């Protein structure tokens, strides 16, 4: 028994993933986020169809190819995450340094000096 919808989902998933990997270095974090959102329904369709041994056997090579492509995608996503973390740390350090030069008192406060 063939699952035409699931077979089509595998093909679409491979095409979508391959297209993203081909332009991965130019892809922004927002594009990767949209890619993941577009891909999720396809993944769910494939996972539900993968419960049958026939489907798993028929798409063994496709699954291996997807695993290799996913490894490349995960590497890029991790690099973007690390880059974002470094940028956030730099901004926090800049704020901390700038606050060191800011007055730590109320501008409208009044001080009284006592003479002895």
- For 48-69, write each residue's pLDDT tens digit: 888 888 988 999 999 999 999 9
In a domain, residue 114? The reply is no
Number of H helices, E strands in the chain: 4, 0
Gap between the Cα atoms of 54 and 5, Å rounded? 15
Q: Is residue 110, in this structure, part of any structural domain at all?
A: no
What is the residue range of 52's domain?
Answer: 4-98
The pLDDT of residue 87: 95
- Could you give the 3-state DSSP secondary structure of residue 104? coil
Q: Give the Cα separation of 74 and 115 in Å (integer).
A: 69
Cα–Cα dist 56/60, whole Å: 6
Report yes or no on 61 lying in a domain. Answer: yes
Say how many domains are in the chain.
1
Taking alpha carbons only, the member of 4, 27, 21, 99 closest to residue 67 is 21
pLDDT of amino acid 107: 66
Residue pair 84/31 in contact (Cβ under 8 Å)? The answer is no
Domain presence at residue 34: yes
Give the gyration radius of the chain's Cα atoms.
Answer: 27
Q: What is the pLDDT at residue 1?
A: 46
Does a structural domain hold residue 108?
no
With a cut of 50, list the residues of the chain below it in pLDDT: 1
Q: What is the mean pLDDT of the chain?
A: 87
Within a domain: 111? no
Q: What is the pTM of this model?
A: 0.71
Between CA 9 and CA 41 the distance in angstroms is 9
């Amino acid at each position: 028994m063939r699952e035409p919808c699931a077979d089509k989902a595998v093909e679409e998933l491979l095409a979508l993933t391959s297209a993203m990997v081909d332009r991965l270095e130019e892809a922004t974090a927002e594009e990767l986020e949209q890619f993941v959102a577009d891909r999720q329904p396809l993944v769910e369709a494939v996972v539900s169809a993968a419960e049958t041994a026939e489907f798993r056997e028929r798409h063994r090579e496709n699954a291996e190819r997807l695993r290799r492509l996913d490894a490349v995608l995960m590497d890029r996503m991790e690099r973007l995450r690390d880059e974002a973390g470094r940028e956030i740390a730099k901004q926090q350090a800049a704020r901390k340094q700038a606050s060191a030069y800011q007055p730590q008192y109320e501008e409208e406060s009044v001080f009284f000096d006592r003479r002895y």
